[in-house]
Structure 1
Amino acid sequence: MTGPASVAVVPARGAANRGFARILLSEWTKLRTVRSTMWALITTAVLMIGAAAAIGMAALGAEENDANPSFNVIELSFQGAVLAQLSLATLGALAITGEYRTGMIRTSLAAVPWRLRLLLAKALVFGGVAFVVSMISAFGAFFVTQAILSARYDAATLVDPHAFRVVFGAGLYLVATGLLGLGVGTLIRHSAAAITATVAILFVLPPMIGILPSSWGRTVTKYFPPNAGSQIAVVVPDPGMLGPWGGFAVYCLWIAAVFLAATYLLRHRDA
């Protein structure tokens, strides 16, 4: 009795693994065959690297930077991340809301009845693509900026204090923001509304929270998602803010909470 029972488990596990691999392949096919995917990824890279080049050239001709103690050649590389994060967050939202708009979500849920597995596969595929593009963009922006600034300043290298953490962290922040867009899109299911909500989280609410009164306003500011997460791409974080990795961990917890809520709604409401 023991032998046959133990043998029967192996094919079941193998079938489950092959089933999840097929879900991943399906999500990859859906992501890469949508025209907006390529444009959003190109936009992310162009905004990061193009803005880095433009700002580097502008800094090269600004003599006041010579006496500016806050002038930092590392952080200067990532001024384009402000807009690049919007590009990836929009793509993350569209990766799920596009299926609701076309009605494809019904086919997806019929093919994958276990909805958590579908969302996990979508997050893994999107996160993997976003990771590659974000790292290319972050390191590209860094090297382009330093090449330009080297004509006048002592350019930074990846072995300088905090440099690798800031460059790698800028890429991680973009990936996390893209996943935030995916989570919000799963919650709201409507493209325009999901993008609007994500824009509010990233750009509208942070300055509004900054005017809240007293100590609790400072606490909310410190732990608010983009404020906490962006500390990983800062050379010397503000003493009133969280540390680089602690802040990014808080950002990831916020994103995890969004996905938990999205998973609950995905399982309990109709497509």
Structure 2
Amino acid sequence: MATVTRTTRADAPERSRTEHTGGGLRGAVAAEWGKLWTTRTPYVCMAVGVGLTAVFAFYYGSIARINDEPVQAVGKAPIASVILLQFIVVVLAMTTVTSEYATGSIRTSLQWVPVRHRVQLAKAAVTGAVSFVGGVLLGVLGMAVAWVPFRGHASFETGEAVVQLLSIGTYLALVAVLSVGVAFVCRSAVGALASLFFLLAGLPFVLLGPGSEVLRKINDALPQSAGDHFMTGDGDPYPSLVGLLIVLSWAVAAHLIGLAVLRRRDA
């Protein structure tokens, strides 16, 4: 006599949950994490970051000693190097997008994760996390390297140093999110890099050149200047928290614009 096995409705949700294990945002982040570390880009960026931080921090401390500048927090050295380090983060973040458009693998990524905002958010989360941790570690390296050439022209307080390290990591993480958004808008490495270089370095240079007070105020609203105020804790022309909010606003705006372009033009 044949036996008929019946599947109750109570079994369906359990089976459905099993079939979708590993999906959603968590799965998208895991996929982006795996793709990132299977390329040479993060390793090259870290190596360049170590070299730039060491050289710049040593130079900064040496100049402070030679010019007999007042005693300052040793964390000022790695903070000053961020003006260069941010472009390493730019390269790291934007290539997670532009390389896929260049090779056509973006189609595969969008098939694996059909929810568009989830793809972009996963890339921003992974590159932002890597940039934050990398920024903190490079900040520690910068403080250690700069301490020797400072020779009495620097001070060290644990609480202040921790705040400076976290601010460096936070700023670089937001630069990564900003870069991912711009990369989705431009889709090409040349276009994204040129746009980000102009925003982070070119435009501030142009605005500060004439010495106009109006142009200086406009420059204070740009991500590079706001980030510098945030990291140094400078209260002029606005508090450190305002600087953080300005950078955050730029990152969110770039992310939303990039998402709108992705949804409209797709792959």
TM over 0.5: yes
User: Which ranges of structure 2 fall in alignment gaps of 5 or more residues?
Assistant: 1-7
User: TM-score, normalized by length of structure 2?
Assistant: 0.85
Please, which of 204, 219, 233 is the counterpart of residue 221 of structure 1?
A: 219
Equivalent pair of 1:146/1:156 in contact (CA under 8 Å)? no
Q: Which one has a bigger Cα radius of gyration?
A: 2
User: TM-score, normalized by length of structure 1?
Assistant: 0.84
Alignment match, 1:132: 133
Distance in 1 between the 2:208 and 2:20 partners? 48
Distance in 2 between the 1:227 and 1:246 partners? 11
Question: Structure 2: which amino acid aligns with 1:243?
Answer: P
The number of aligned residues is: 259
Aligned 1:141-180 pairs, distance under 5 A: 141-149=142-150, 151-153=151-153, 155-159=155-159, 162-180=160-178
CA pair 12-264 structure 1, distance change in 2 beyond 3 A: farther
1:111 to 2:108 alignment: no
Distance in 2 between the 1:10 and 1:217 partners? 61
* Cα shift readout 1:173-201 (whole Å, capped 9, x = no counterpart): 12221222221111100001101111101
Equivalent pair of 2:227/2:243 in contact (CA under 8 Å)? yes
Aligned 1:40-79 pairs, distance under 5 A: 40-60=45-65, 62=66, 64-65=67-68, 68-69=69-70, 73-79=74-80
Identity of aligned residues (%): 26
Distance in 2 between the 1:111 and 1:73 partners? 47
Alignment match, 2:181: 183
Q: CA deviation at 1:210?
A: 3.0
Equivalent pair of 1:228/1:250 in contact (CA under 8 Å)? yes
Q: CA deviation at 1:215?
A: 5.8
* Cα shift readout 1:9-60 (whole Å, capped 9, x = no counterpart): 6776676662033322221121111112210122123212332133324444
Please, which of 17, 24, 30 is the counterpart of residue 25 of structure 1?
A: 30
User: Which ranges of structure 1 fall in alignment gaps of 5 or more residues?
Assistant: none
Equivalent pair of 2:124/2:176 in contact (CA under 8 Å)? no
Distance in 1 between the 2:21 and 2:35 partners? 20
Deviates more, 1:68-77 or 1:116-125: 68-77
Q: CA RMSD in A?
A: 2.7
Alignment match, 1:82: 83
CA pair 214-51 structure 1, distance change in 2 beyond 3 A: closer
